[in-house]
Structure 1
């Protein structure tokens, strides 16, 4: 590892068009899991000026059943199910705060193109008399943890998220009424001997009310942003040498889906580790937890975090791989980047030997972490990792494997 270097991560707010799409897709996942814990959902959302469109495959008999003769007149939808989905979409947008001429929760046009899950996918995923439930797709997933922050996340991403969370909280509470929902942040830190020691650059672009791009109002907005950043970064990180770029393009009144189309799954590095770790390529939002893109990414974060929390390493990357329709993972790989107190192969063996994990099968992961619940909309902005929801850790953020790992490794 180099003795000194700069590293940068970015985040985007809940009002960014791609994140609007992610939150809508996960609102649909939550709606269907609340109706049926074994629901299958692959929901993609597109947002643009005054329009939201859903597409994808689902299986949720309380809402959609292509074997129900009574529902055929409604395209196999249960009475009222389409209205329930539309209400969830509009409610999500309202919660974010979009009441603009170019994107308004109440007046936008909504299209629902969800349809039944492919039988050829279902036959590989569903459990049967002679087989355990298989993975919902092939793929590789990565989890990561490091000791840069109390939540064991990369500092650059952690601070980028927290800046935008604070802006959103102040917008919702009325502390900063000049802010609008769309925003992006970027934090560059200087690392020395593997630890962040200073902030060399901050970028914040935030949508704002009319008039906050010049004169005293512009100065007020920039002073507010600098105050927020100063309160979030550790004392001493900001200095006279820190370079600031606050709304560097000038006016940012037109934003959100009116300014740029949004799609589910386009912010996967923001969702994970800000570039500090590899990414398998799969997005999370809109997918039920049989999809290992989501559940295996959660279990690998859980495992990596417990390795670091146990003091077995300062940094840990874990990869896991699956084949569609096959329950057992194809491989498990641990890399502690030269910071481990024991061998990486020993950690791999220890993980495989922890019985309560359920062998890292899709069913075992969902059971151990309790993933068949409507918990996902909260994950869809400000990252899936290193966060708490309503005062409690997300289940994959628990550190309840520390004792098991220490016992297995002596």
Structure 2
């Protein structure tokens, strides 16, 4: 990537069909873990007109009504109209009960170091974590703004601020960079779905979305809109109904918006729909944790951490760092620091972040499904254990400060 460039990132509202699928999949994960923290589960979902299809493999003591879980998510998101709703959609399931793990369940909080070395990963994975100092949340400005506008669009619908809006919507934000730093807002595109073709006029929708969604989202941003910023709101005219009645959805399709908006790499594996025993999900959280603490300690303006796992091994086979030329010390030295301070073994990650127990009553039993929309990283509305910078002080001695 050049030092001077324009990058755009996309976000969608909770009612977008792909994100509907992610939330249903993670609601199933939440429901199972709430009853049985030792659950092994993978859940995938597809939606189309009037149909929801759920496929899941699991080993769990939890009692699960997959159809009821899905209907609750659909209703919470706001799909109550005739075209698609929780009461009339057909739900089809394909369920497979897994054989018990030959190693049996384990309690990571009571394991010794040598015992952790005996727990191997069950799938190959190369995952990425990234952080930068462009925003207070240590994520790129493009995806930060795209999520922020999408959240405002969702709230305008759910809070009945703009009562004619439907649950489905899409946002894209383009930012110009100079010397790898955000310089100005290049463009904003908002595709807001409305319930019917006759309410309101397209002119009113554009005025409302500009004032109540876009301008409101930029009210406290350091880099604001200027007279050259290109703003498009429903450029093709009315976008009516939307959701599964208009286009299909699938779990795991929005990996860039789940991570870093295309500014940095992400794994080819989905994050949502997997229990915390899947290294391709939780390893991404540990990689983000390491990258964020490196940037918080000011060892680099940007940091990407790549971690590779192989089936049958407990520890990663590779940890690599790329600071895009922004590091105060060599990337190899940062790799050594990360390797010495951060434990990437599966039980260690589970223990560090308490991942089996996060869908508890304190979180309303909804932890993972909340992650399934507006990104898994850089969240300011959730207390995410991989977002804390408690390792900063341990890294600081290496920063030369």
Q: TM-score, normalised by structure 1?
A: 0.88
- The 1-side partners of 2:324 and 2:183 are apart by 20
- Alignment of 1:222 with 2:206, yes or no, is yes
Q: Distance in 2 between matches of 1:217 and 1:337?
A: 47
2:281 to 274, 294, 297: 294
Instruction: Count how many residue pairs are aligned between Structure 1 and Structure 2.
Output: 382
2:379 to 384, 387, 396: 387
User: What is the Cα deviation at residue 135 of structure 1?
Assistant: 1.6
Q: Secondary structure at the match of 1:145?
A: strand
1:353 aligned counterpart, secondary structure? helix
Whether 1:231 aligns to 2:203 is: no
Counterpart pick for 1:93 among 74, 81, 105: 74
User: Is the 8 Å Cα contact of residues 40 and 60 (structure 1) preserved in structure 2?
Assistant: yes
1:369 corresponds in structure 2 to: 353
Residue 179 (structure 1) shift: 1.1
Question: CA separation in 2, counterparts of 1:395 and 1:211?
Answer: 44
- The corresponding residue for 2:364 is none
> Does structure 1 retain, via aligned residues, the 8 Å contact 2:57–2:97?
yes
Matches within 5 A, 1:3-402: 3-63=3-63, 81-82=64-65, 85-117=66-98, 122-123=101-102, 132-211=118-197, 217-227=201-211, 228-233=213-218, 234=221, 237-354=224-341, 357=342, 359-373=343-357, 374=359, 375-389=367-381, 392-402=382-392
Cα displacement (A) at 1:398: 0.8
Are the structure 2 counterparts of residues 348 and 403 from structure 1 closer, same or farther at C-alpha, using a change threshold of 3 Å? same
Q: Which residue pairs with 1:73 in the alignment? A: none
Are residues 125 and 382 of structure 1, via their aligned partners in 2, closer, same or farther at CA, if it must alter by over 3 Å?
A: farther
Find the aligned partners of 1:407 and 1:91 in 2 and give their Cα distance. Answer: 49
Q: Which moved more, 1:108-117 or 1:314-323?
A: 108-117
1:137-160 deviation per Cα after TM superposition (whole angstroms, max 9, x unaligned): 101000001111110111011101
Deviations 1:215-274 (A, max 9, x none): x73222111222222232335631222222211222211311111111101111111111
Unaligned runs of 5+ in 1: 64-80
The CA distance in 2 between the partners of 1:118 and 1:238, in whole Å, is 56
8 Å CA contact 2:309, 2:317 repeated in 1: yes
Instruction: Rate the CA distance shift 1:118–1:269 in 2: closer, same or farther, 3 A.
Output: farther
SS of 1:289's equivalent? coil
Deviations 1:81-136 (A, max 9, x none): 33xx32221111111000122210122111222211256xx448977989622223
- Let me know the Cα RMSD of the aligned residues: 2.1
Secondary structure class of the residue paired with 1:350: helix
Write the distance in 1 (CA, Å) between the matches of 2:104 and 2:333.
Answer: 32
Q: 2:10 touches 2:257 (CA, 8 Å); kept in 1?
A: yes
The answer to whether the Cα contact below 8 Å between 1:146 and 1:316 also exists between their aligned partners in 2 is yes
Q: 1:269 to 1:123 in 2, by over 3 A?
A: farther
Distance in 2 between residues matched to 1:110 and 1:190, nearest whole Å:
44
